[in-house]
Amino acid sequence: KAGVTQTPRYLIKTRGQQVTLSCSPISGHRSVSWYQQTPGQGLQFLFEYFSETQRNKGNFPGRFSGRQFSNSRSEMNVSTLELGDSALYLCASSFLQSRETQYFGPGTRLLVL
C-alpha cells in the first residue's frame, strides 16, 4: 500500500506571496492532519480534515487554511507569507479520526526569503 505523499517536496517563496501544498493520504484513510515543524517549536498542529470538513484547528492565524476533496486528498494554503513561515510542513493520515495512529508523509520544506 502506498504511503502518504506530499508535493512539492521543496519550495522557495518570497515574503507576501502565497503557497499551496498538497497531500495524498494512504488509500482508505479519510482523516488528514497538517503540522508545521520548526527547530524551536517542534510539531505544531495546524488543522484536521475529515470527509471534506475541517474538524479541528490549531492556534495559527487565518492566513493558514486548508481543504479536503472527495477523494480525501488535501491541500493547505498559506497567504501573505512571512519569514517565520519557513518550516517543514507535514501531513499525516489516519483511518477515521486523528486520534488514531497517524502516518506521516515526507513533508514539504518551505523557505520564505
Partner 1 sequence: QKEVEQDPGPLSVPEGAIVSLNCTYSNSAFQYFMWYRQYSRKGPELLMYTYSSGNKEDGRFTAQVDKSSKYISLFIRDSQPSDSATYLCATPGTYKYIFGTGTRLKVLA
DSSP SS3 for 110: strand
Q: Which of 82, 100, 111, 113 binds partner 1 (CB under 8 A)?
A: 100
52 interacts with partner 1 by CB under 8 A? no
Task: Output the smallest distance, CB 80 to partner 1, in A.
Answer: 25
Is the Cβ of residue 53 or residue 70 nearer to partner 1 in the bound state? 53
Element (DSSP H or E) covering residue 5: strand 5-7
Grid cell, residue 65, equals 487554511
Question: CB 21 → partner 1: shortest distance, Å?
Answer: 13
Separation of alpha carbons 13 and 40, rounded Å: 21
Residue pair 52/70 in contact by the 8 Å Cβ criterion: yes
| CA 11/CA 18 separation, integer angstroms | 11
- Regarding 58 and contact with partner 1 (CB under 8 A), the answer is yes
Selected from 30, 67, 73, 109, the binder of partner 1 by CB under 8 A is 109
DSSP 65: E
112 binds partner 1 (CB under 8 A): no
Q: Which residues bind partner 1 (CB under 8 A)?
A: 4, 6, 33, 41-43, 45, 48, 55-56, 58, 90, 92, 98-107, 109
